[in-house]
Amino acid sequence: MTLQDIKQRFGIIGSNAVLERSIDIARQVAPTDLSVLINGESGTGKEVFPQIIHQNSARKHGQYIAVNCGAIPEGTIDSELFGHEKGSFTGAHEARKGYFEVADGGTIFLDEVGELPLSTQARLLRVLETGEYIKVGSSKVLKTNVRVVAATNINFNVAIEKGKFREDLYYRLNTVPINLPPLRDRKDDIALLFRKFANDFATKYRMPSVKLNPDAEQALINYYWPGNIRQLKNITEQISIIEKDREITLEGLLQYLPNYQTNKLPALTNNPFSNSSSTELNERDLLYKVLFDMKKEMNDLKQVVHNMMKGVSNPLNSMDESSLQNTDQLFRAENNFSVLPTNRDLTVHNPIIVSDKNAYAQPIFVEESLSLQDKEIDMIKKALKKHKGKRKYASKELGISERTLYRKINEYHIED
C-alpha cells in the first residue's frame, strides 16, 4: 500500500514532511511484531496510526482493541487487561476474559499508557517480554500472542525521574518510536484541514460550506492551536452551525479562537515533551497557593484593624511594615483578648471586625472560614468563571493538571 493510499484510506489530510515520515515508518514496521510507541500532543491524531499498523500487518484478520488507560479506574485496570477469576474480588460474580486474552493473535492499542499504575506496568512488561500473564485471583500462567502499540502525550523522561513510570517498560515499548508533529508545525495543512472539515459539516447539516476571507485564513494559520486537529475540527463545526454569513471575516473568526493574541506570542507553555522537570504541577502547589493567599488576606486584615484602632478615617490606607508586624500584639494588649489567629492556627474561624463611627463601643464579629477546602473550592470556581467553564485553561491558571481539576470538580460537586 502506497503512502497516498494510506492517507486516502484513513482520512489523513496534509503533506507535511514530518507527518509523511511518520506514516512511512508505520507502514514499514507494520509487517513485523515490534512494539511501537506513538508520541504526540493531545489532538494530533495518534489513534489513527495503530490502525494503519494493524491493517498493514499479518494480524489484520485478528482482533483489534483500543484501550484508554487513563479512563479505567486503578482498582480495575488489571482485571480489564488480564481478566479475573470468579470470586477474586468483591463483585466478581463470574470469570472474565481480559483484553490480552480476547485479542490473542491481534493488536492492542494502549492509549495514554503513561497513566498505568506501577503494579500494572510490571504485569505489562512481563507480557511484552515473555507473552505470559496471570489473571487476577488465579495462579495459572497463560500465554498470549498480541502486538502492542502504545501512545502517550507525557514526557517519559520526567515520569521516569519522578518514579511514575518504569524505565525498563519504556525501553520495551519504545522499540520503534513514531513522533507526530503538532498542528502549529503544519501551517501549510491548516487551511486545507479547515476546508475539509467545513465541507464535511456542510454535508452533515445540509447547509452551504463556510469559507474564510484572506485575513481570517491568515489568522487561522498563525494561531497556536493548543488542542491541535481536534480543536480545529471543533471550531470549524461551531462556525458552520452558528454563523449565518457563509464567508467568515477576521472579526468573526476571532470570537472562536481563545486567547488569540496571547497564543501568537512566543511564550513558555506546558509542553509535555519539554525536558524540564517542572512541566507538571501537583496538588501541593495548589495548596501552597491557597496558603499564600490566606497569609496575604491575614496581613491585610491586621492592617485594617490597626488603622481602626488609631482612628484613621480610611482604615484601608497602607501602613509601614513594622506597624503591620506589631498589629496583632497591640490589639491583644488593648482589648485583653485575641481575635486574630496565629500562623499555626489554621483550623479556627477568624472573626473580622466591621467598623463604623462607634466601632470601639459596639464591635460586630463576622466569621470567615479558613478551611483549606473552602478556599480551594472558591479558587476553582473563580478560575472556571474567568475562563467561561473551559477546564483546560482553568487548570493552567490554577497550576494543576486537567485531570486533577476534573477529579476535584467531581469531589466537591462544583457546577461550572
Please state the domain extents for the chain.
3-179, 185-264, 284-370, 373-412
Same fold, 185-264 and 373-412: no
**Residues 341, 370 contacting (CB under 8 angstroms):** yes
* Closest of 121, 111, 215 to residue 160, by C-alpha: 121
Q: The pTM is what?
A: 0.62
* Closest of 347, 353, 366, 354 to residue 294, by C-alpha: 347
- Cα separation, 98 vs 77, whole angstroms: 10
**Residues 405, 395 contacting (CB under 8 angstroms):** yes
Look up residue 88 and give its three cell numbers: 477474586
The predicted pLDDT at position 261 comes to 61
What is the SS3 assignment for 353?
A: strand
Count of CB atoms within 10 A of residue 37's CB?
A: 22
Residues 6+ apart with CB under 8 A from 47: 66, 109, 111, 151
**CATH 1.10.8.60 matches 185-264:** yes
Mean pLDDT for all residues in the chain: 81
The predicted pLDDT at position 376 comes to 83
Confidence bin at 273 (pLDDT 50/70/90): very low
pLDDT at 174 over 60: yes
Mean per-residue pLDDT, 344-373: 49
**CATH 1.10.287 matches 373-412:** no
Query: Tens of pLDDT along 186-229?
Result: 999 999 999 999 999 999 999 999 999 999 999 999 999 999 99
**CATH 3.40.50.300 matches 3-179:** yes
